[in-house]
Chain A
């Protein structure tokens, strides 16, 4: 199982983390977002937003970037700043 981390408004709705069975050859961040969103309406509403960023190994990435098992995956709302 691959851990999925949530922050900001996403964490408020879905908790701080979740997990997902990722195929050995990985999946795109967009596919991962859709798989997580398909779980229920709350997940769909929290994740399927243009201002919710996908983040791979602590770098914000586009949804077409591929993630492989073992990489750190996160989704979060835009930063508030300090």
Chain B
């Protein structure tokens, strides 16, 4: 069981991460990945020039690791990887990559889903979008909270 949790200050390559995660994997029948991209259009339809994620060195990594540890305690996965960008991110760039490996697919799907629901609401980032109209802070929306609440009844 390995947890690989990292902040990426420069680029994040989902194909490279997946390749490394798959290498030498002979005991698992399933790897599920999620790749999150920075969008160039926000949900109101406005153009987003760039996204900036501020972070608190040390605390942000800890918050990501706490979430990964909770996922590992909850689902019988073989390995997890969580890589999150910070700093300035252009539309189309990968902002987050998550992968879960397990002997069977259901557990891998659930672990990746759980990781993303918690990262979207609880990871220690402060996010703002900059576009033609200026800068706007982003906070978790009701959909994110509802997604997180799906897991609450069984949360240890």
Chain A residues in the interface with B (C-beta under 8 A) = 5, 7-9, 11-12, 55, 58, 74, 76-82
Q: A81 touches which one: B56, B59, B123, B128 (CB < 8 A)? A: B123
Q: A81-B119, A81-B121, A81-B123 are in contact. Are A9 and B137 (CB under 8 A)?
A: yes
Chain B residues in the interface with A (C-beta under 8 A) = 36, 53-54, 56, 58-59, 62-64, 84, 95-96, 119-128, 137-140, 144
Q: A8 touches which one: B84, B95, B122, B126 (CB < 8 A)? A: B126
Looking at A76, A78, A79, A81, the one whose CB has the most chain B CB atoms below 10 A away is: A81
Q: A80-B138, A81-B120 are in contact. Are A5 and B125 (CB under 8 A)?
A: no
Chain B binding surface, main DSSP class: mixed
What are 16 contact pairs spanning A and B, CB under 8 A? A7-B54, A7-B126, A9-B126, A12-B137, A55-B56, A74-B56, A77-B126, A79-B121, A80-B128, A80-B138, A80-B140, A81-B120, A81-B121, A81-B123, A82-B84, A82-B125
Q: How far in angstroms is the closest Cβ of chain A from B34?
A: 11
Q: Contact between A76 and B127 (Cβ–Cβ < 8 Å)?
A: no
Q: How far in angstroms is the closest Cβ of chain B from A57?
A: 9
Number of A-B contacts (CB under 8 A): 62
Q: A76-B126, A78-B139, A81-B140 are in contact. Are A58 and B121 (CB under 8 A)?
A: no
Q: How far in angstroms is the closest Cβ of chain B from A2?
A: 17
Cα A18 to Cα B69 in complex, Å, equals 34
